[in-house]
Amino acid sequence: MSEATDTLLKNAEAAIRATHYHQFPGTTATVCLIETVSGYTTIGKSDCASPEDFNAAIGREMARREAFDRLVEAEAYLMKTVRYLKGEHPLPADENGESHAD
């Protein structure tokens, strides 16, 4: 894992204020909501194809993983935007070699 990826994952984990789960009664559907210290939220979900195989702990784990992956995407956008605003990461050029800010 690269240093940038490691930093990204640590930043995302550190941003979490609370994690909430809901398993819908009579179903195998589980939802996870991750709330960050800034108030931003992400949602992940899981469902089991076979009710006989349903395991609530695994459902929570899978739903959290999906919610966390979405948080990491938001964190990556934020990190890249901050770097761009600081002038550390220019916009990529298009097929004509031109950069576009809009």
Q: Is the predicted pLDDT of residue 17 greater than 90, yes or no? A: yes
CATH number of domain containing 67 = 3.30.160
Q: Please state, in angstroms and rounded to a whole number, the distance separating the CA atoms of residues 31 and 85.
A: 35
Q: Please state, in angstroms and rounded to a whole number, the distance separating the CA atoms of residues 65 and 42.
A: 11
Torsion of CA 76, 77, 82, 88, to 10 degrees: 80
What mean pLDDT comes out for the span 9-13? Answer: 93
Task: Provide the residue range defining the domain that includes 64.
Answer: 3-85
- DSSP-H helix ranges across the chain: 3-14, 56-85
Q: Is the predicted pLDDT of residue 25 greater than 80, yes or no? A: yes
pTM exceeds 0.85 for this model: no
What mean pLDDT comes out for the span 34-47? Answer: 97
Q: Is the predicted pLDDT of residue 63 greater than 80, yes or no? A: yes
Q: Please state, in angstroms and rounded to a whole number, the distance separating the CA atoms of residues 60 and 6.
A: 24
> Would you say residue 12 lies in a domain?
yes
Q: How much is the mean pLDDT over the chain?
A: 90
**Tokens 């009710």 belong to which residue?**
51
> Would you say residue 99 lies in a domain?
no
Number of structural domains in the chain: 1
